[in-house]
C-alpha cells in the first residue's frame, strides 16, 4: 500500500508508514451484526416451542442459536441447548396433554 500522508510504498502488514510514521487507517469495522436479534429470537422460540409446535419453533430456535454461535460461542451453544430442552419439554408436555401439536 501507499502512505496516504507521504506516498511511500510499504508492506500491507505494517501498521504505520516506515517513512513518516503515519498510522495506517484500519479497515472499516465489520457491519453491525444482528446477533442481538438472533439471541432475542432464539429465546422467544425456545419459550414458544414449549407450547406450540415444538419441532418447528425449537428447530428455528436451534438455528438462531447456531447463528449466534458464530459470533458468541458460549451463548450460541447455550441457546441451542435451551431450545433443544424446551423442544423436548414441549413434546412431552404435548404428549401428556394429548394434543397433536407434533
Ligand atoms: Zn508516510
Question: CA distances (Å), 77 to each of 33, 42, 44, 82, 100, in order?
Answer: 18, 11, 16, 8, 29
Q: What is the pLDDT of residue 31?
A: 59
pLDDT at site 13: 86
Residue scoring higher pLDDT (16 or 102):
16
Share of the chain above pLDDT 90, in %: 55
- Between 29 and 1, the higher pLDDT residue: 1
Whole-model pTM above 0.85? no
Residues lying with their CB under 5 A of ligand 1, a single-atom ion: 3, 5-6, 8, 17, 19-20, 22
Residue 16 Cα to ligand 1 middle (Å): 8
The Å distance, Cα 28 to ligand 1 centre, comes to: 20
**pLDDT at residue 87, rounded to an integer:** 93
Per the CB < 8 A criterion, the answer to whether 42 and 61 are in contact is yes
Q: What is the pLDDT of residue 48?
A: 93
Amino acid at each position: 500500500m501507499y502512505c496516504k500522508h507521504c506516498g511511500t510504498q510499504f508492506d500491507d502488514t505494517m501498521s504505520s508508514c516506515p517513512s513518516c510514521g503515519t498510522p495506517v487507517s484500519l479497515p472499516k469495522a465489520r457491519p453491525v451484526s444482528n446477533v442481538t436479534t438472533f439471541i432475542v429470537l432464539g429465546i422467544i422460540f425456545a419459550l414458544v416451542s414449549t407450547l406450540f409446535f415444538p419441532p418447528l419453533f425449537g428447530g428455528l430456535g436451534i438455528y438462531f442459536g447456531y447463528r449466534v454461535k458464530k459470533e458468541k460461542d458460549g451463548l450460541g451453544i447455550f441457546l441451542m441447548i435451551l431450545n433443544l430442552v424446551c423442544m423436548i419439554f414441549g413434546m412431552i408436555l404435548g404428549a401428556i396433554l394429548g394434543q397433536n401439536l407434533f
